[in-house]
Structure 1
Amino acid sequence: MILIDGKKIAAEMKQEIAAEVAIMKENGEKTPHLVAVLVGHDGGSETYVAYKIKDCEAVGFKSSLIRYEDDVTEEELLAKVHELNNDEDLDGFIVQLPLPKHISEQKVIEAIDPKKDVDGFHPINVGRMVIGLPSFVSATPFGIVELLKRYNIETSGKNCVVLGRSNIVGRPMSVLMSQKANNATVTVAHSRTKDLEEVCRSADILIVAMGVPEFVKGNMVKEGAVVIDVGTTRVKSDKTKSGFKLKGDVLFEEVAEKCSYITPVPGGVGPMTRVSLLYNTLLASKKTIYK
């Protein structure tokens, strides 16, 4: 069993991005600028945005954080989105999810200019990705594809089961794996799938994005499978200073011994999601996707 080290690959990608940014600065080009909009004080969101700011500093990006309390109105937030759309100094921005219940996440996503949608959530970017046009690809699916590529894991002709169908991970992941660059035969499974254990056992590559801690057990994975665990659920723990620990969607102790490759949680997909956002911001700065 080989542990897929997302931290190591993300560090390599950061070095590549930083080198490119250094050349841009030497040539007198504009420094890439990423803005994060954070609403409320969700613990996971606070941590994630803090990491994003550190990541920007590490590669030489300019970064800005805009904060709102969780009682901000939908109208106020949408007004800020429109303001950011028209700000020529910034190249990309994200509105950190989840948002408070009184704000429509879909409305906010659709209000973002697709040219600055470095999260890759806007329907225009999703649509372009589906038909194979240049687009900003959602950070987690992009990061997973990059992990498979950099570990030289064969995807062509392989049976790939994507467990989960969210718009952020499951659906785009299934499209990317079926495209010519990867050439996998893809099955999308979920909580209503019949004979779910059997479907999962058919996978040469199993990508798990259910959001249910330790959902996938040893009996759901065949010998030699590649398992990518996207899950990051905070579970209370009296063994850590923070009072919680992260658990994946895969019961690692049972599954790992059967795998050829597996991602750990933490340290697998998470760092790749963060570095993929940087990569999208670099593309936005260089006008690579939208000329």
Structure 2
Amino acid sequence: MALMSGTDVAREITEQTTKRASEFEQRTGRKPCLAAVLVGEDPASVTYVKMKRNRSAKAGIESRFVHLPEQTTTEQLVAEITKLSEDPGVDGILLQHPVPKHIDERAAFEAIAPSKDVDGVTMHSFAAMAFSEPGFASATPGGIMRLLEAYEVDLKGKHAVVVGRSPILGKPVAMLMLAKDATVTICHSKTENLDQIVRTADIVVAAVGKPKFITAIKPGAVVIDAGYNEGNVGDVDFEQLADSASLITPVPGGVGPMTIALLLEQTVSAATRRADLVDVSEVVG
């Protein structure tokens, strides 16, 4: 068993992003700008946004913060995001999710201009991932792909099982892995004979949101734990599976740092592209 350190890989990505942000500022006279939108006072969301803003500042990215009250309506949130989409001083937009239950989250996501969707949450970005067209990857799936690349995991011809089907994690990571010639099976918490299916996988991505949900794998499999539950527990039973896996991500220190690194990298790419400085030919995945 070997650990896949997202912390180490993310540090390398962020160092390069910081250099690119500095070059952008030298050429344009301003820093790349990431606007973060938070609705309500959910403690975890407040913490996440604060962390992302701090990381942005360290990378030389301006951070704009829009904090809306819990009772904000869908229409009000869409209006605020539309303003940011139309603001030439904003390069990337992050809507911290989940939003309060009374808000139509999909409508809010779709108010983000595709050119500023650095978190990869819009239908436009999903289509770009599915068709291997230029665009922005969903930050966590994109981070997972970069982590696999950093550890030289060749997906071609391999069987990848994704446990989870959310539109910003399970489904997009399946599309990105398919684009790398993996054979992909998408499962979820209601899949029958799930353990049997997971045991056939060369690569397992756990993204179901249930602590220690994955308890059995094929010996030698690569295990990516994209879950984060109370008590720093992932979706994989790490203690039970660590010795069986050839590579496995820890929680924390695995997928989490990669998500933020990709968000910052894509913000600088968005700024560079919008400023028309260079032809940024990044293809998602």
Give yes or no for TM over 0.5. yes
Q: State the shift of 1:150 in Å.
A: 0.6
Name the residue aligned to 1:98.
98
Name the residue aligned to 2:43.
43
The letter of the residue matching 1:173 is V
- Could you tell me whether the CA contact under 8 Å between 2:211 and 2:234 is conserved in 1? yes
The alignment's TM-score, normalised by the length of structure 2, stands at: 0.94
Name the residue aligned to 2:251.
265
CA distance, structure 1, for counterparts of residue 97 and residue 141 of structure 2: 17
Name the residue aligned to 1:212.
210
- Could you tell me whether the CA contact under 8 Å between 1:246 and 1:265 is conserved in 2? yes
CA distance, structure 1, for counterparts of residue 12 and residue 124 of structure 2: 30
Q: Which stretches in structure 2 are left out of the alignment for 5+ residues?
A: 274-279
- Could you tell me whether the CA contact under 8 Å between 1:165 and 1:188 is conserved in 2? yes
Q: Matched residue of 1:17: which SS?
A: helix
Whether 1:227 and 2:223 are equivalent positions in the alignment is yes
The alignment of Structure 1 onto Structure 2 pairs a total of residues equal to 276
Over the residues paired in the alignment, what is the CA RMSD in angstroms? 1.3
The letter of the residue matching 1:139 is A
Identity of aligned residues (%): 42
Whether 1:250 and 2:248 are equivalent positions in the alignment is no
Name the residue aligned to 1:201.
199
CA distance, structure 1, for counterparts of residue 188 and residue 27 of structure 2: 49
Question: Which region of structure 1 is more displaced relative to structure 2, 26-35 or 247-256?
Answer: 26-35
- Could you tell me whether the CA contact under 8 Å between 2:21 and 2:60 is conserved in 1? yes
Q: Which stretches in structure 1 are left out of the alignment for 5+ residues?
A: 235-244
The letter of the residue matching 1:165 is R
- Could you tell me whether the CA contact under 8 Å between 2:22 and 2:31 is conserved in 1? no
Question: Which region of structure 1 is more displaced relative to structure 2, 15-24 or 141-150?
Answer: 15-24
Query: What whole-Å deviation, never above 9, does each CA across 1:234-285 have from its counterpart, x for those lacking one?
Result: 2xxxxxxxxxx22100111001010100000011000101111111111110
Q: State the shift of 1:124 in Å.
A: 1.2
Query: What whole-Å deviation, never above 9, does each CA across 1:89-125 have from its counterpart, x for those lacking one?
Result: 0101111111112211011111111111111111111
Whether 1:11 and 2:7 are equivalent positions in the alignment is no
Q: Matched residue of 1:265: which SS?
A: coil
Whether 1:22 and 2:44 are equivalent positions in the alignment is no
Whether 1:283 and 2:269 are equivalent positions in the alignment is yes
Q: Matched residue of 1:187: which SS?
A: strand
The 1:248–1:41 alpha-carbon spacing in structure 2 relative to 1, beyond 3 Å, is same
CA distance, structure 1, for counterparts of residue 130 and residue 34 of structure 2: 25
Name the residue aligned to 1:86.
86
The letter of the residue matching 1:171 is K
CA distance, structure 2, for counterparts of residue 45 and residue 84 of structure 1: 20
- Could you tell me whether the CA contact under 8 Å between 2:205 and 2:226 is conserved in 1? yes
CA distance, structure 2, for counterparts of residue 78 and residue 172 of structure 1: 24
- Could you tell me whether the CA contact under 8 Å between 2:92 and 2:117 is conserved in 1? yes
Query: What whole-Å deviation, never above 9, does each CA across 1:156-178 have from its counterpart, x for those lacking one?
Result: 11111111111011111111001
CA distance, structure 2, for counterparts of residue 23 and residue 117 of structure 1: 22
The letter of the residue matching 1:70 is E
Name the residue aligned to 1:185.
183
CA distance, structure 2, for counterparts of residue 51 and residue 191 of structure 1: 30
The letter of the residue matching 1:261 is L
Q: Matched residue of 1:233: which SS?
A: coil
Q: State the shift of 1:50 in Å.
A: 0.9
Name the residue aligned to 2:128.
128
Q: Matched residue of 2:264: which SS?
A: helix
The letter of the residue matching 1:231 is G
Query: What whole-Å deviation, never above 9, does each CA across 1:168-220 have from its counterpart, x for those lacking one?
Result: 111111110011xx211111111232221110000110000010000011xx2
CA distance, structure 2, for counterparts of residue 256 and residue 122 of structure 1: 35
The letter of the residue matching 1:132 is S
